């Protein structure tokens, strides 16, 4: 990258892509009533500008009241796949 932080070539782009983590937020309608029942989003570190863990918040009775929450720390997607 140059002094302005711009990517100048494909090699730099490839390095950035392989070193990055995709950040997403996911909203789900579990019972198909048109209302959001689950949200998965990043939980940022309080002292540093990076993601510390992922959090999922859910309305288990589908009434709009958030009554379940879970946190995922050190998530490794490869662990979900059988070898």
The string of pLDDT tens digits covering residues 17-60 is 776 666 778 899 989 999 988 888 888 778 877 777 888 888 98
CB-based contact 44:50 (threshold 8 Å): yes
Res 12 pLDDT > 80: no
The structural domains of the chain, with segments of one domain joined by +, span 22-75
pLDDT at 80: 44
DSSP code string of 7-70: --SHHHHHHHHHH------EEE-TTSSSS--EEEEEEE-SSSSSEEEEEEEE-TTSSS---EEE
pTM exceeds 0.85, yes or no: no
**9/5 Cα distance (integer angstroms):** 12
């Amino acid at each position: 990258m140059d002094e302005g932080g711009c990517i100048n070539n494909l090699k730099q782009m490839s390095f950035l892509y392989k070193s990055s983590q995709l950040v997403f937020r996911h909203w789900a309608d579990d019972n198909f009533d048109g209302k959001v029942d689950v949200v998965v989003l990043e939980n940022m570190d309080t002292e540093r500008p990076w993601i510390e863990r992922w959090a999922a918040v859910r309305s288990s009775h589908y009434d709009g009241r958030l009554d379940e929450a879970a946190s995922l720390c050190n998530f490794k997607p490869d662990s979900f796949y059988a070898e």
